[in-house]
């Protein structure tokens, strides 16, 4: 799957977001090294701390289906924003736990442009197990 297809998967999945409070739907598409794709959406809760982001939904679903640290190849994030939509800091930390620092992260905007960054560019001084 190429990056355009992965981004399109994130865009389509965004339609399933549960965002009644923020009205800000987000979709994510996570590509595994074996070619499998897991999609995720943000799922809000009236108690905002209980909300889960699209990126974590996709990663946690992959883990629940037996995938492990190192099995992740790329992730795309889609929202309806004028600028490129990056993952929040919590999602970046979860990505640092499961993904290679060189893993591509595809950010999108409402003009359907794609910006590719490596995870290490989004989280340059990641807290990792080496820091323990």
Q: For residue 52, what are the β-bridge partners?
A: 43
In this prediction, residues 8-32 reach a mean pLDDT of: 97
Rounded alpha-carbon distances, angstroms, from residue 9 to 1, 62, 75: 10, 16, 10
pLDDT of residue 132: 56
Q: What is the DSSP code string of 85-130?
A: -PPPHHHHHHHHHHS-TT-EEEEE-TT--EEEEEHHHHSTT---GG
- In angstroms, the CA 69 to CA 15 distance is 28
Give me the chain's average pLDDT, please: 95
33-77: pLDDT as tens digits: 999 999 999 999 999 889 999 999 999 999 999 999 999 999 999
Contact 76, 9 (CB under 8 A): yes
- In angstroms, the CA 83 to CA 86 distance is 9
pLDDT of residue 131: 56
Contact 113, 84 (CB under 8 A): yes
Catalytic residue selected from 4, 8, 44, 55: 55
Task: Report all structural domains of the chain as residue ranges with CATH numbers, in order of start.
Answer: 3-131 (3.40.140.10)
Instruction: Please report which confidence band the pLDDT of residue 127 belongs to, taking 50, 70 and 90 as the band edges.
Output: confident
* 44 assigned to active site: no
């Amino acid at each position: 799957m190429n990056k355009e297809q992965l981004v399109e998967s994130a865009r389509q999945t965004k339609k399933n977001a549960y965002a009644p409070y923020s009205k800000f739907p987000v979709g994510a598409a996570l590509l595994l090294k074996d070619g499998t794709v897991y999609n995720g959406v943000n799922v809000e809760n009236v108690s905002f701390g209980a909300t889960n982001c699209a990126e974590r939904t996709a990663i946690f679903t992959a883990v629940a289906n037996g995938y492990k640290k190192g099995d992740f190849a790329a992730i795309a994030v889609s929202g309806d924003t004028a600028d490129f939509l990056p993952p929040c800091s919590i999602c970046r930390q979860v990505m640092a736990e499961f993904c290679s620092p060189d893993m591509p992260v595809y950010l999108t905007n409402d003009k359907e442009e794609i910006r590719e960054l490596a995870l290490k560019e989004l989280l340059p001084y990641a807290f990792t197990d080496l820091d323990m």
